[in-house]
A and B are shown apart, each in its own frame.
Chain A
Amino acid sequence: DVKVTQSSRYLVKRTGEKVFLECVQDMDHENMFWYRQDPGLGLRLIYFSYDVKMKEKGDIPEGYSVSREKKERFSLILESASTNQTSMYLCASSRQGNEKLLFGSGTQLSVL
Chain B
Amino acid sequence: EDQVTQSPEALRLQEGESSSLNCSYTVSGLRGLFWYRQDPGKGPEFLFTLYSAGEEKEKERLKATLTKKESFLHITAPKPEDSATYLCAVRGGTGGFKTIFGAGTRLFVKA
Which A residues form the contact surface with B (CB < 8 A)? Answer: 4, 33, 35, 40-45, 48, 58-59, 90, 92, 99-106
Residues of A within 8 A of B98 (CB): 45, 48, 58-59
User: Considering the chains assembled together, what is the distance between the CA atoms of A4 and B43 in angstroms?
Assistant: 10
Residue from A48, A58, A90, A99 within 8 A of B44 (CB atoms): A90
Interface size on B, residues (CB 8 A): 23
**Which residue in chain B gives the minimum CB-CB distance to A33?**
B99
Residues of A within 8 A of B108 (CB): none
* B interface: dominant SS: strand
**Which residue in chain B gives the minimum CB-CB distance to A104?**
B43
User: Considering the chains assembled together, what is the distance between the CA atoms of A42 and B36 in angstroms?
Assistant: 12
User: Considering the chains assembled together, what is the distance between the CA atoms of A104 and B102 in angstroms?
Assistant: 19
User: Considering the chains assembled together, what is the distance between the CA atoms of A40 and B41 in angstroms?
Assistant: 16
The answer to whether A101 and B103 touch across the interface, beta carbons within 8 angstroms, is no
* A interface: dominant SS: strand
User: Considering the chains assembled together, what is the distance between the CA atoms of A33 and B101 in angstroms?
Assistant: 13
The answer to whether A105 and B101 touch across the interface, beta carbons within 8 angstroms, is no
4 smallest beta-carbon distances between A and B, as pairs: A103-B43, A43-B101, A42-B103, A42-B101
Interface-central residue, A4, A40, A103, A105, by most chain B CB under 10 Å: A103
The answer to whether B45 and A99 touch across the interface, beta carbons within 8 angstroms, is no
Per-residue CB contact flags for chain B residues 34-67 toward chain A (1 = under 8 Å, else 0) read: 1010000111111001000000000000000000
Q: Does chain A have a CB within 8 A of B93?
A: no
